């Protein structure tokens, strides 16, 4: 087995999140169309625009490490997105749809938060200050989106999902 070091792991994980962000870009418009709440629809549309910026930042990180911006298949994000698609199909038009969409979106956000947090720390360890700063920006935006989704869930989606007595 080849001698693998943190630099190799950083690059491999960077390819993973690059693939994930690009898959998320394709999923967010479907989620926005499915959302019943205007507030949730707008949140998905805004996050799609942010995700485009996340992809651009990742391309900058690839430049910093002198590697081409390429993704590698990420079964984790594929599975999370597939679960979201299942929720959209199973709950279409139902009172619980938006709550399910938020849950699916937060699964994506939590995956991204874990990846970006790890990558930022590794970038710092490797002395990649510019990469760490770029990754930190995205980590902050992902955390803000997660908090926004929680707010929408608590203020409207979860309440609307409860069947009236």
Q: What residues of the chain score a pLDDT lower than 50? A: none
Closest Cα partner for 153 from 33, 39, 29, 28?
39
> What are the residue ranges spanned by the domains of the chain?
6-66+74-161
Q: What is the DSSP string of 52-83?
A: HHHHHHHHHHHHHTT--------HHHHHHHHH
Read off the pLDDT of residues 116-148 as tens digits, 9 standing for 90 and up: 999 999 999 999 999 999 999 999 999 999 999
CATH architecture for segment(s) 6-66+74-161 = Up-down Bundle (1.20)
pLDDT at 75: 97
Read off the pLDDT of residues 97-110 as tens digits, 9 standing for 90 and up: 999 999 999 999 99
pLDDT at 164: 64
pLDDT at 2: 79
pLDDT at 152: 98
- CA distances 125 to 16, 111, 118, 129, 130, Å, are 19, 21, 11, 9, 12
Triad 35, 44, 144: Cα angle to 5° = 130
């Amino acid at each position: 087995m080849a001698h693998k070091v943190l630099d190799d792991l950083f690059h491999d994980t960077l390819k993973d999140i690059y693939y994930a962000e690009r898959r998320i870009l394709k999923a967010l418009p479907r989620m926005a169309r499915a959302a019943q709440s205007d507030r949730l629809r707008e949140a998905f549309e805004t996050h799609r625009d942010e995700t485009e910026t996340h992809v651009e930042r990742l391309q900058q990180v690839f430049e910093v490490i002198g590697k081409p911006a390429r993704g590698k298949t990420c079964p984790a994000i594929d599975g999370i997105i597939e679960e979201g698609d299942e929720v959209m199909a199973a709950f279409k038009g139902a009172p619980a749809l938006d709550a399910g969409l938020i849950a699916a979106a937060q699964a994506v956000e939590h995956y991204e938060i874990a990846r970006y947090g790890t990558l930022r720390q590794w970038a710092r360890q490797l002395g990649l200050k510019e990469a760490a700063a770029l990754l930190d920006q995205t980590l902050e935006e992902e955390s803000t989106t997660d908090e926004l989704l929680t707010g929408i869930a608590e203020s409207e989606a979860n309440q609307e999902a409860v069947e009236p007595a």
